[in-house]
Amino acid sequence: MKYFKLPDLGEGLQEAEIVQWHVQAGDMVKADQLLVSVETAKALVDIPAPYDGVVAKTFGAAGDILHVGEPLLGYEGEADAGTVVGRLEGGGNRQDDQFFVGAAPSTREHMATRATPAVRQLARQMGVELSALSGTGSDGLITRADVEAAAQTQQDRFGGEKLRGVRRSMALNMARSHAEVVPVTLFADADLHRWGEARDPLIRLGKAMAAACAAVPVLNSWFDGRNLSIRQHDHLDLGIAVDTPDGLFVPVLRDVGNRSPEDLKAGVSRLRADVEARSIPPQEMMGATLTLSNFGTLFGRYANPVVVPPQVAILGAGGIREEPVAVAGEVVVHPILPLSLTFDHRAVTGGEAARFFKALVQALEQPD
């Protein structure tokens, strides 16, 4: 059998949930014919056939989650290196080991439990302790089915509903951030009394963030904590957190500093419409260099926004409020925008964050 595996769906997308198969075993398919529709944490994706052939087997049913590199579909015919792309994540028996590429587990791991690298990865993702399992494979090998059964037992014991799609991705990303990032949050207020009457701050916030990135570029970076390396970006690709009934989406508004406010406003409208329709292309959800959470449109003043690696900062904007301020010894009422900047202290110093924040507020307080 020739395997076609779940392909790389883009940066950060390591799994997908099967929504609907469009072929079945025995079907003759042509190259680029639609095979299956899947849902990632970002969007709905249609996966086409890589080449002509007869379907021997489909892996997984609607609702199942597959990881990148796991077999998606089997073609009739003999397997060969040219058609087995990436890593086979099956792990059903020892013969599966021939498909793995890369370093083998340590000798200590093999002595403790017998499982393929793919099954070990699956166990980590599902929170299953391999040492507590008895393998049903040959010679006691722990299989994918063993891990899934243990995970199901844990879920049945706890009860509740299993997270899927966007909410599952959010849970994983938040756990990753908590484990890796060293967060520090600064708070400040922007006085908007020099603005006109219209107070939709999103575009102004984006432009102010771009100005701050020009002043202190280190906050517009990606950081690799494992290798302790940092990569600064020469323009701002702004992730904009969008709340939906399905969970949190973060589409990316490209090159914010070099676009006009009118162009940016039209771009935001397109992104929001695509998110609401769940038709946004996956690439439009990737590559953000800095993120804005405009939670104040819902409720709230200050927050501790969560930095999601590899980014090193996120800005939270609360709701604009009319507040008393002291001006030349007198009390006047001005519109005040509360702001919260969280940064990863592994990559950014307090001084850099403070200078960035000051530049941002100064840009934001300029008149229309």
Q: Which of the two residues, 314 and 152, has the higher pLDDT score?
A: 314
**Is it the case that residue 97 has pLDDT exceeding 50?**
no
Asked if residue 113 and residue 183 are part of one domain, the reply reads no
Question: Cα dist. 195→226, 299, 337, 365 in Å?
Answer: 44, 22, 12, 8
Range of the domain at 216: 170-364
Asked if residue 263 and residue 147 are part of one domain, the reply reads no
Asked if residue 151 and residue 224 are part of one domain, the reply reads no
Question: What does pTM read for this prediction?
Answer: 0.70
Asked if residue 222 and residue 140 are part of one domain, the reply reads no
Asked if residue 277 and residue 151 are part of one domain, the reply reads no
Asked if residue 249 and residue 175 are part of one domain, the reply reads yes
* pLDDT recorded at residue 66: 86
**Is 329 within a domain?**
yes
Where do the DSSP E strands lie in the chain? 2-5, 15-21, 28-29, 34-39, 44-48, 53-58, 65-67, 71-75, 183-191, 221-224, 229-232, 238-240, 242-244, 247-249, 252-253, 290-293, 313-317, 321-327, 330-344
What's the whole-number mean pLDDT along residues 54-81? 84
**Is it the case that residue 282 has pLDDT exceeding 70?**
yes
The model's confidence at residue 98, banded by pLDDT at 50, 70 and 90, is: very low
List for the chain the helix, strand, coil content (%; round to 5). 30, 25, 40
Asked if residue 199 and residue 318 are part of one domain, the reply reads yes
Q: Give the lowest-confidence range in 107-111, 155-159, 213-217.
A: 107-111
Q: What is the CATH number of the domain that holds 316?
A: 3.30.559.10
- Average pLDDT score over the chain: 86
**Is it the case that residue 219 has pLDDT exceeding 90?**
yes
Q: Give the lowest-confidence range in 67-71, 217-221, 248-252.
A: 67-71
**Is it the case that residue 337 has pLDDT exceeding 80?**
yes
What's the whole-number mean pLDDT along residues 278-286? 85
**Is 163 within a domain?**
no
The model's confidence at residue 117, banded by pLDDT at 50, 70 and 90, is: confident
pLDDT per position as a tens digit, 341-361: 999 999 999 999 999 999 999
Asked if residue 288 and residue 203 are part of one domain, the reply reads yes
**Is 164 within a domain?**
no
**Is 235 within a domain?**
yes
Asked if residue 292 and residue 195 are part of one domain, the reply reads yes
* pLDDT recorded at residue 234: 96
**Is it the case that residue 112 has pLDDT exceeding 60?**
no
Q: What is the CATH number of the domain that holds 101?
A: 2.40.50.100
**Is it the case that residue 325 has pLDDT exceeding 50?**
yes
**Is 224 within a domain?**
yes
Asked if residue 187 and residue 140 are part of one domain, the reply reads no
**Is 259 within a domain?**
yes
* pLDDT recorded at residue 79: 60
What's the whole-number mean pLDDT along residues 61-76? 88
Domain final residue, candidates 100, 129, 158: 158
% of the chain beyond a pLDDT of 70: 88
Strands 2-5 and 221-224: unpaired
**Is 165 within a domain?**
no
What's the whole-number mean pLDDT along residues 119-128? 82
What's the whole-number mean pLDDT along residues 251-267? 96
What's the whole-number mean pLDDT along residues 123-129? 83
Q: Which of the two residues, 225 and 119, has the higher pLDDT score?
A: 225
What's the whole-number mean pLDDT along residues 239-249? 88
What's the whole-number mean pLDDT along residues 84-95? 37
- The 10 Å Cβ neighbour count of residue 68 is 18
* pLDDT recorded at residue 90: 37
* DSSP calls for 197-255: S----HHHHHHHHHHHHHHSGGGSEEEETTTTEEEE-SS--EEE-EEETTEEE--EE--
Domain final residue, candidates 134, 158, 182: 158
Asked if residue 235 and residue 151 are part of one domain, the reply reads no
What's the whole-number mean pLDDT along residues 260-278? 92
**Is 100 within a domain?**
yes
* pLDDT recorded at residue 13: 67
What's the whole-number mean pLDDT along residues 198-204? 83
At 180, list the tokens: 């890796």
The model's confidence at residue 156, banded by pLDDT at 50, 70 and 90, is: confident
The model's confidence at residue 193, banded by pLDDT at 50, 70 and 90, is: very high
Number of folded domains in the chain? 2
Residues in the chain: 368
Asked if residue 141 and residue 98 are part of one domain, the reply reads yes
pLDDT per position as a tens digit, 44-67: 788 999 999 999 999 988 888 888
Domain final residue, candidates 103, 128, 158: 158
The model's confidence at residue 99, banded by pLDDT at 50, 70 and 90, is: very low
